[in-house]
Amino acid sequence: MSIETREPAQVTLPTGVKSVLVVNNVVQQPDDIGHNIKRLGKNQTDRTKASADSVAIFYTEALSQFLDEEEYFDAVKYYEKPLRSDNDFWQEVPISPETMNELRSATATDAIISLDKLVLQTDWADFFQQEGYNYASMTGKIHSVIRVYLPSMEGKIPVVQFTDSMKWEGYDIRDGRAYADLIIPSQEEAMKQLAVFSAEKMTKVFSPHWENQDRWYYTQMSSKMREGEMFAKSNQWFNAIEKWKESYEKEKNKLNQAKAAHNIALGYEMLDDMNSAYEWATTAADLFQQSTTTGSLERRRSVLFRNEIERRRDTSNKLNMQVN
Protein backbone atom coordinates (compact mmCIF):
# COMPACT_ATOMS: atom_id res chain seq x y z
CA MET A 1 0.00 0.00 0.00
CA SER A 2 1.08 3.58 -0.61
CA ILE A 3 0.77 6.18 2.14
CA GLU A 4 1.57 9.87 2.52
CA THR A 5 3.71 10.91 5.47
CA ARG A 6 3.95 14.45 6.78
CA GLU A 7 7.62 15.41 7.06
CA PRO A 8 8.98 18.43 8.97
CA ALA A 9 10.90 21.27 7.36
CA GLN A 10 14.65 20.91 7.75
CA VAL A 11 14.97 24.52 8.89
CA THR A 12 12.64 25.57 11.70
CA LEU A 13 11.83 29.26 11.40
CA PRO A 14 10.58 31.33 14.36
CA THR A 15 6.87 30.90 15.08
CA GLY A 16 6.24 34.55 14.18
CA VAL A 17 7.19 33.96 10.54
CA LYS A 18 3.81 33.62 8.82
CA SER A 19 4.70 35.14 5.45
CA VAL A 20 7.85 35.08 3.31
CA LEU A 21 9.23 36.91 0.33
CA VAL A 22 11.35 35.00 -2.23
CA VAL A 23 13.98 37.10 -3.99
CA ASN A 24 16.68 36.69 -6.63
CA ASN A 25 19.99 38.05 -5.30
CA VAL A 26 22.49 36.64 -7.80
CA VAL A 27 24.38 37.87 -10.85
CA GLN A 28 23.73 35.91 -14.05
CA GLN A 29 26.50 33.42 -14.79
CA PRO A 30 28.62 34.46 -17.81
CA ASP A 31 28.05 32.34 -20.91
CA ASP A 32 31.70 31.17 -21.09
CA ILE A 33 31.87 29.77 -17.55
CA GLY A 34 31.09 26.17 -16.62
CA HIS A 35 30.33 24.45 -19.94
CA ASN A 36 32.30 21.66 -21.64
CA ILE A 37 31.68 19.62 -24.76
CA LYS A 38 33.34 16.57 -26.33
CA ARG A 39 32.42 16.32 -29.97
CA LEU A 40 32.14 13.11 -31.97
CA GLY A 41 35.53 11.85 -33.15
CA LYS A 42 37.53 14.12 -30.83
CA ASN A 43 39.57 13.01 -27.85
CA GLN A 44 39.76 16.33 -26.05
CA THR A 45 37.03 18.23 -24.27
CA ASP A 46 36.51 21.81 -25.34
CA ARG A 47 35.01 24.79 -23.61
CA THR A 48 31.73 26.03 -25.01
CA LYS A 49 29.20 28.75 -24.28
CA ALA A 50 25.66 28.50 -22.95
CA SER A 51 23.37 31.24 -21.74
CA ALA A 52 22.10 31.11 -18.14
CA ASP A 53 19.59 33.85 -18.93
CA SER A 54 16.49 33.59 -16.70
CA VAL A 55 17.74 30.49 -14.85
CA ALA A 56 17.76 32.32 -11.50
CA ILE A 57 14.25 33.56 -12.28
CA PHE A 58 13.10 29.98 -12.97
CA TYR A 59 14.64 28.93 -9.65
CA THR A 60 13.08 31.64 -7.49
CA GLU A 61 9.69 31.62 -9.24
CA ALA A 62 9.46 27.85 -8.86
CA LEU A 63 10.52 28.05 -5.21
CA SER A 64 7.84 30.61 -4.42
CA GLN A 65 5.21 28.56 -6.27
CA PHE A 66 6.16 25.28 -4.55
CA LEU A 67 6.21 26.93 -1.11
CA ASP A 68 2.80 28.45 -1.74
CA GLU A 69 1.37 25.07 -2.79
CA GLU A 70 2.42 23.52 0.54
CA GLU A 71 0.06 26.00 2.30
CA TYR A 72 2.35 26.20 5.33
CA PHE A 73 2.89 29.96 5.25
CA ASP A 74 -0.07 32.32 5.28
CA ALA A 75 1.45 34.10 2.30
CA VAL A 76 4.35 33.45 -0.09
CA LYS A 77 5.25 36.41 -2.26
CA TYR A 78 7.71 36.75 -5.13
CA TYR A 79 9.82 39.82 -5.79
CA GLU A 80 10.14 40.02 -9.56
CA LYS A 81 13.06 42.46 -9.81
CA PRO A 82 16.58 41.00 -9.31
CA LEU A 83 18.37 42.69 -6.40
CA ARG A 84 21.88 42.62 -7.87
CA SER A 85 22.88 45.14 -10.55
CA ASP A 86 26.66 44.54 -10.55
CA ASN A 87 28.66 42.12 -12.72
CA ASP A 88 30.74 40.34 -10.07
CA PHE A 89 29.44 36.81 -10.61
CA TRP A 90 31.73 35.03 -8.13
CA GLN A 91 31.09 37.41 -5.24
CA GLU A 92 28.23 36.76 -2.83
CA VAL A 93 26.61 39.96 -1.60
CA PRO A 94 24.19 39.25 1.26
CA ILE A 95 21.22 41.56 1.63
CA SER A 96 21.90 44.47 3.95
CA PRO A 97 19.67 45.00 7.01
CA GLU A 98 18.41 48.25 5.49
CA THR A 99 17.40 46.58 2.21
CA MET A 100 15.85 43.67 4.11
CA ASN A 101 13.67 45.97 6.19
CA GLU A 102 12.65 47.99 3.13
CA LEU A 103 11.61 44.84 1.26
CA ARG A 104 9.73 43.42 4.21
CA SER A 105 7.92 46.70 4.78
CA ALA A 106 7.02 47.14 1.10
CA THR A 107 5.67 43.60 0.76
CA ALA A 108 4.25 43.12 4.28
CA THR A 109 6.22 39.92 4.88
CA ASP A 110 7.97 38.56 7.96
CA ALA A 111 11.09 37.05 6.38
CA ILE A 112 13.04 36.92 3.13
CA ILE A 113 14.21 33.72 1.42
CA SER A 114 16.99 34.82 -0.89
CA LEU A 115 18.89 33.00 -3.62
CA ASP A 116 22.37 34.41 -2.94
CA LYS A 117 24.51 32.16 -5.14
CA LEU A 118 23.88 30.05 -8.24
CA VAL A 119 26.64 28.18 -10.11
CA LEU A 120 25.85 25.83 -13.02
CA GLN A 121 27.89 23.38 -15.04
CA THR A 122 27.15 21.23 -18.08
CA ASP A 123 29.34 18.46 -19.54
CA TRP A 124 28.31 17.20 -22.98
CA ALA A 125 29.72 14.16 -24.83
CA ASP A 126 28.74 12.83 -28.26
CA PHE A 127 28.59 9.00 -28.58
CA PHE A 128 27.60 8.11 -32.14
CA GLN A 129 25.65 9.37 -35.14
CA GLN A 130 22.49 7.86 -36.62
CA GLU A 131 20.62 9.18 -39.64
CA GLY A 132 22.51 12.42 -39.35
CA TYR A 133 21.73 12.98 -35.65
CA ASN A 134 24.29 12.78 -32.87
CA TYR A 135 23.42 10.66 -29.84
CA ALA A 136 24.88 12.28 -26.73
CA SER A 137 24.85 12.44 -22.96
CA MET A 138 24.96 15.48 -20.74
CA THR A 139 25.51 15.88 -17.02
CA GLY A 140 24.32 19.08 -15.42
CA LYS A 141 25.43 20.21 -11.98
CA ILE A 142 24.02 22.95 -9.78
CA HIS A 143 25.25 24.62 -6.63
CA SER A 144 23.12 27.17 -4.83
CA VAL A 145 23.23 29.12 -1.60
CA ILE A 146 20.00 30.31 0.00
CA ARG A 147 19.79 32.56 3.04
CA VAL A 148 16.83 33.38 5.23
CA TYR A 149 16.80 36.97 6.45
CA LEU A 150 14.88 37.68 9.65
CA PRO A 151 15.14 40.79 11.82
CA SER A 152 14.93 38.70 14.99
CA MET A 153 17.94 36.47 14.35
CA GLU A 154 20.50 38.98 15.68
CA GLY A 155 22.86 38.49 12.78
CA LYS A 156 22.55 34.69 12.72
CA ILE A 157 21.27 34.09 9.22
CA PRO A 158 20.29 30.50 8.33
CA VAL A 159 22.29 29.41 5.28
CA VAL A 160 21.37 26.42 3.11
CA GLN A 161 23.86 25.12 0.54
CA PHE A 162 22.60 22.70 -2.07
CA THR A 163 24.60 20.72 -4.64
CA ASP A 164 23.17 18.11 -6.99
CA SER A 165 23.23 16.87 -10.56
CA MET A 166 21.05 15.47 -13.32
CA LYS A 167 21.91 13.41 -16.40
CA TRP A 168 20.28 13.22 -19.82
CA GLU A 169 20.82 11.02 -22.89
CA GLY A 170 19.29 11.32 -26.32
CA TYR A 171 19.60 12.59 -29.86
CA ASP A 172 20.75 16.13 -30.47
CA ILE A 173 17.72 17.17 -32.49
CA ARG A 174 16.25 20.64 -32.80
CA ASP A 175 14.04 20.20 -35.90
CA GLY A 176 11.22 18.32 -34.14
CA ARG A 177 10.95 15.67 -36.82
CA ALA A 178 12.64 12.47 -35.60
CA TYR A 179 13.16 10.51 -32.38
CA ALA A 180 10.78 12.87 -30.56
CA ASP A 181 10.82 10.73 -27.42
CA LEU A 182 14.63 10.52 -27.27
CA ILE A 183 15.78 14.12 -27.54
CA ILE A 184 18.49 15.52 -25.29
CA PRO A 185 17.78 19.04 -24.06
CA SER A 186 20.01 21.95 -24.93
CA GLN A 187 22.36 23.22 -22.24
CA GLU A 188 20.05 26.19 -21.71
CA GLU A 189 17.01 23.94 -21.25
CA ALA A 190 18.97 21.62 -18.95
CA MET A 191 19.96 24.50 -16.66
CA LYS A 192 16.33 25.54 -16.30
CA GLN A 193 15.33 21.96 -15.46
CA LEU A 194 18.08 21.88 -12.83
CA ALA A 195 16.76 25.13 -11.36
CA VAL A 196 13.21 23.80 -10.99
CA PHE A 197 14.51 20.50 -9.60
CA SER A 198 16.57 22.38 -6.99
CA ALA A 199 13.65 24.63 -6.07
CA GLU A 200 11.54 21.57 -5.35
CA LYS A 201 14.27 20.21 -3.07
CA MET A 202 14.55 23.55 -1.27
CA THR A 203 10.81 23.58 -0.62
CA LYS A 204 11.33 20.63 1.72
CA VAL A 205 13.97 22.61 3.59
CA PHE A 206 11.64 25.46 4.49
CA SER A 207 8.20 23.89 4.67
CA PRO A 208 6.63 20.76 6.14
CA HIS A 209 5.64 18.59 3.23
CA TRP A 210 4.01 15.33 2.20
CA GLU A 211 5.99 12.40 0.85
CA ASN A 212 4.78 9.13 -0.65
CA GLN A 213 6.07 5.95 0.96
CA ASP A 214 5.35 2.27 0.51
CA ARG A 215 4.07 0.07 3.32
CA TRP A 216 2.98 -3.56 3.46
CA TYR A 217 1.00 -5.81 5.74
CA TYR A 218 0.81 -9.57 6.02
CA THR A 219 -2.23 -11.66 5.11
CA GLN A 220 -2.65 -15.18 6.43
CA MET A 221 -5.26 -17.87 6.39
CA SER A 222 -6.25 -17.33 10.04
CA SER A 223 -9.66 -15.75 10.41
CA LYS A 224 -8.47 -12.92 12.69
CA MET A 225 -5.75 -11.86 10.27
CA ARG A 226 -8.27 -11.87 7.40
CA GLU A 227 -10.74 -9.83 9.43
CA GLY A 228 -8.02 -7.34 10.26
CA GLU A 229 -7.15 -7.09 6.57
CA MET A 230 -10.74 -6.27 5.67
CA PHE A 231 -10.85 -3.48 8.26
CA ALA A 232 -7.49 -2.17 7.01
CA LYS A 233 -8.75 -2.00 3.43
CA SER A 234 -11.55 0.31 4.60
CA ASN A 235 -9.20 2.38 6.79
CA GLN A 236 -10.82 1.17 10.02
CA TRP A 237 -7.50 0.94 11.80
CA PHE A 238 -8.77 0.63 15.39
CA ASN A 239 -10.77 -2.44 14.40
CA ALA A 240 -7.89 -3.83 12.34
CA ILE A 241 -5.52 -3.52 15.29
CA GLU A 242 -8.01 -5.28 17.56
CA LYS A 243 -8.25 -8.28 15.22
CA TRP A 244 -4.48 -8.45 14.67
CA LYS A 245 -3.91 -8.35 18.44
CA GLU A 246 -6.30 -11.25 18.88
CA SER A 247 -4.32 -13.18 16.27
CA TYR A 248 -1.01 -12.26 17.95
CA GLU A 249 -2.19 -13.47 21.36
CA LYS A 250 -3.53 -16.79 20.06
CA GLU A 251 -0.56 -17.63 17.83
CA LYS A 252 2.10 -20.09 19.03
CA ASN A 253 4.25 -19.83 15.92
CA LYS A 254 6.80 -17.01 16.27
CA LEU A 255 6.87 -16.21 12.58
CA ASN A 256 3.12 -15.74 12.50
CA GLN A 257 3.35 -13.66 15.68
CA ALA A 258 5.96 -11.49 14.00
CA LYS A 259 3.66 -10.86 11.05
CA ALA A 260 0.76 -9.95 13.33
CA ALA A 261 3.01 -7.61 15.35
CA HIS A 262 4.15 -5.91 12.17
CA ASN A 263 0.55 -5.34 11.11
CA ILE A 264 -0.26 -3.88 14.52
CA ALA A 265 2.69 -1.48 14.20
CA LEU A 266 1.42 -0.36 10.80
CA GLY A 267 -2.04 0.21 12.26
CA TYR A 268 -0.66 2.45 14.98
CA GLU A 269 1.42 4.35 12.41
CA MET A 270 -1.75 5.02 10.41
CA LEU A 271 -3.34 6.35 13.62
CA ASP A 272 -0.27 8.58 14.12
CA ASP A 273 0.57 6.88 17.42
CA MET A 274 4.31 6.62 16.82
CA ASN A 275 5.23 5.42 20.31
CA SER A 276 2.94 2.39 20.07
CA ALA A 277 3.98 1.83 16.47
CA TYR A 278 7.64 1.74 17.48
CA GLU A 279 6.97 -0.70 20.35
CA TRP A 280 5.20 -3.14 18.05
CA ALA A 281 7.69 -2.66 15.21
CA THR A 282 10.47 -3.56 17.68
CA THR A 283 8.53 -6.62 18.82
CA ALA A 284 8.06 -7.67 15.20
CA ALA A 285 11.76 -7.20 14.39
CA ASP A 286 12.77 -9.27 17.43
CA LEU A 287 10.39 -12.09 16.49
CA PHE A 288 11.57 -12.10 12.87
CA GLN A 289 15.13 -12.29 14.22
CA GLN A 290 14.19 -15.43 16.16
CA SER A 291 12.12 -17.14 13.46
CA THR A 292 13.88 -16.44 10.15
CA THR A 293 17.30 -17.11 8.66
CA THR A 294 20.07 -14.53 8.41
CA GLY A 295 19.53 -12.27 5.41
CA SER A 296 15.88 -13.23 4.94
CA LEU A 297 13.61 -10.67 3.30
CA GLU A 298 11.25 -10.56 6.31
CA ARG A 299 14.10 -9.89 8.73
CA ARG A 300 15.65 -7.12 6.61
CA ARG A 301 12.31 -5.51 5.88
CA SER A 302 11.27 -5.51 9.55
CA VAL A 303 14.46 -3.71 10.57
CA LEU A 304 13.97 -1.08 7.88
CA PHE A 305 10.39 -0.53 9.01
CA ARG A 306 11.37 -0.25 12.67
CA ASN A 307 14.08 2.28 11.80
CA GLU A 308 11.62 4.33 9.73
CA ILE A 309 9.09 4.37 12.57
CA GLU A 310 11.86 5.43 14.96
CA ARG A 311 12.80 8.27 12.60
CA ARG A 312 9.20 9.44 12.32
CA ARG A 313 8.76 9.25 16.09
CA ASP A 314 11.89 11.31 16.67
CA THR A 315 10.85 14.00 14.16
CA SER A 316 7.23 14.20 15.34
CA ASN A 317 8.00 16.82 17.99
CA LYS A 318 9.76 18.99 15.42
CA LEU A 319 6.82 18.63 13.06
CA ASN A 320 4.31 19.48 15.81
CA MET A 321 6.25 22.65 16.62
CA GLN A 322 6.12 23.72 12.97
CA VAL A 323 2.47 23.01 12.20
CA ASN A 324 0.84 23.98 15.50
pLDDT above 80 (res 126): yes
Convert the pLDDT of each residue in 185-222 to its tens digit: 999 999 999 999 999 999 999 998 888 999 999 987 78
Residue 132 has pLDDT above 90, yes or no: no
| 9-208: CATH class | alpha beta
Cα 23 to Cα 26, 62, 100, 152, 185: the distances in Å are 9, 11, 11, 19, 27
Beta strands in 178-267 (DSSP E): 209-214
How many whole angstroms separate alpha carbon 94 and alpha carbon 146? 10
CB neighbourhood size of 219 (10 A):
13
Return the pLDDT at 102: 95
pLDDT at residue 311 greater than cutoff 60? yes
CATH number of the 215-323 domain: 1.25.40.10
Given a cut of 80, whether residue 175 has pLDDT beyond it is no
Element (H, E) at 229: helix 223-233
pLDDT tops 60 at residue 154: no
Q: How confident is the model at residue 153 (pLDDT cuts 50, 70, 90)?
A: low
Closest CA to 119 of 233, 30, 203, 217: 30
Q: Would you mind telling me the total number of residues written for the chain in this entry? A: 324
Whether residue 259 has pLDDT greater than 90: yes
Rounded Cα distance, 92 and 84, in Å: 10
Three-class HEC string of 134-159? EEEEEEEEEEEEEEEECCCCCCCCCE
Residue 60: name the closest of 32, 96, 35, 84 by CA: 84
Of 77, 146, 73, 150, the C-alpha closest to 114 is 146
Q: Cβ distance 162 to 198 under 8 Å?
A: yes
Calculate mean pLDDT across residues 114-141.
95
**Domain coordinates of the chain in residue numbers?**
9-208, 215-323
